[in-house]
Structure 1
C-alpha cells in the first residue's frame, strides 16, 4: 500500500471509528460495530491498492475534492500551465482530463491531466529535448505558484521528472529542475494573456484542437 493511500485509509478509518463511537449509544449499535467498520475500510483499501493499483481510492478522493469549486479551478490552472508550455515548446498534446473519473473513462490511470507525446528517454535523447520535457513537467506547479502563491499539485510531475533525470544520470538533477522551473515561469509570464484565455477554454471543456487553435491565434496576435 503506497504512503498516500495508507494515510487516506487511516484517516477515513479514524473518522468512521470516531463517528460510530459517538453515535453508537444513540443508535444502539453493538460495541463491535466500530471495530468492524474500521477493519472493513482497511481491508477494502488494501484490496483496492494491491488489486486495482489504488484506482478506487483515487476516484473516491478525487470525487470529494471536485465538490470544491476552488479545487476545480486550481486543477484547471495547473493543467493549463502544462498545456500552454507544451504547445509553446512544440510538443504534441494528445488529450487532457481534469478529474480522475474523466481519466478513467478515457482508459487512463491517475488523477487526470494533460497528455503529451513523449520520446523514449534513452541515451539518444538530446539535451534540448530533455530540457523541453522537463520544462513542461514543471509548468503545472509553476502556474499554480504564479496564480495562488503556493503549489498543492504536481507531485506526479516531479516524480516523473526526477525519475527520468535519474535514469539518464544527467549530473546535477536539482539544478536542471530549477532551470526548467525558471524557463516555465518565463514562458508563462511572457504569454500570460494566452494562459488566461486557455484557462477559460479548458473551464468550458474545449477540445484539444480548439485549445491549440486558441493558443496559436493568441500568440500570433501578440507578435
Structure 2
C-alpha cells in the first residue's frame, strides 16, 4: 500500500513538472523554473531515500492519507498486538503514524515493536525454537488478518511478508511451500482474532486513544478472562 501510493505521488509529480514545462511558453514562465523544481524534487527524493530511509515520503503519505487508511493502520496493528500478547511475545511499544514512528526512531507508517531476541539465538530445543518461529509468523500475518476481518480485504502487509520470509530463510522450503505457510499463518491469525473479537475491538479503541502497552494488555486480559 505504501509503495503503491508513493509511486502514484511520484508519477503525479513528474506529470505536473512535464506539464509546466510544456505550458511555460504559453504562461510566459522562465524555462528555468520547471528545471529548478525538477532539480529540487530529485534532490529531495535522493536525500530522503539515502539518509532518511523514505521517512519523508512516509510523512507525505500520512498527510494525504484518508481517514479510512488511518483507521486501517490501527486495525492492522491491533491484529499484531493481540496475537503477540496471546503468544507471549514481548511488546515494547507501538506507533500508528509516520510522525510517531520518527519520534520513536522507527521507520514506516507505524507498527508494533516486538522484542525479537528469541530469533537471534537458537534454543537447544529446536522443536521449541521452530514453534516460536511459527507463532511469530502468525503474529506477522495477523495485521493482514485484522484488515480482512473488518474490510474484507487487505491493503498493507508487504513489510510483514518480507519479515515472514526472513524468519523462515533458514528453513529449507520451496516458494510454494512458503506461500502455503503464509496462508496457513493468516488463517490461524484470523481464527485467533475471531475467537477474541471483543478483546480485539476493545484493543482497537485503546490504541486509538494511544494508551500504553501495559494498559492495552490489561484490557485484553480483562476481556479474555
Alpha-carbon shift at residue 24 of structure 1 (Å): 4.4
Gaps of 5+ in 2: none
* TM-score, normalising length: structure 1: 0.86
The answer on 1:59 being equivalent to 2:59 is: yes
2:191 counterpart (181, 186, 195):
186
| Aligned pairs, number | 216
1:201 aligns with 206
* TM-score, normalising length: structure 2: 0.85
Q: Is the 8 A contact 1:122 1:168 kept in 2?
A: no
Gaps of 5+ in 1: none
Q: Matched residues in 2 for 1:72 and 1:178: separation?
A: 25
Alpha-carbon shift at residue 30 of structure 1 (Å): 1.3
C-alpha offsets along residues 123-181 of structure 1, whole Å, 9 cap, x if unaligned?
Answer: 54622101110000000011101110111111110111012212343553222212211
1:177 aligns with 182
Q: Is the 8 A contact 1:16 1:34 kept in 2?
A: no
2:165 counterpart (162, 171, 182):
162
Deviation >6 Å, runs of 4+? 3-6
C-alpha offsets along residues 10-63 of structure 1, whole Å, 9 cap, x if unaligned?
Answer: 324324315635874686421332233123212210122123222222222223
Q: Is the 8 A contact 1:198 1:215 kept in 2?
A: yes
Q: Matched residues in 2 for 1:157 and 1:166: separation?
A: 14
Distance 1:122 1:59, change over 3 A: same
1:132 counterpart (123, 131, 135):
135
Identify which of structures 1 and 2 has the higher relative contact order when contacts are C-alpha pairs closer than 8 Å and 6+ apart. 2
2:67 aligns with 69
2:119 aligns with 120
Q: Matched residues in 2 for 1:175 and 1:57: separation?
A: 33
Secondary structure of the 2:51 match is: helix
Alpha-carbon shift at residue 71 of structure 1 (Å): 1.3
| More displaced 10-residue stretch of structure 1: 100-109 or 37-46 | 37-46
| More displaced 10-residue stretch of structure 1: 74-83 or 175-184 | 175-184
C-alpha offsets along residues 99-139 of structure 1, whole Å, 9 cap, x if unaligned?
Answer: 01101111222221111111224554622101110000000
Q: Matched residues in 2 for 1:102 and 1:217: separation?
A: 28
2:80 aligns with 82
Q: Matched residues in 1 for 2:81 and 2:6: separation?
A: 31
RMSD across aligned positions (CA): 2.4
Q: Is the 8 A contact 1:13 1:38 kept in 2?
A: no
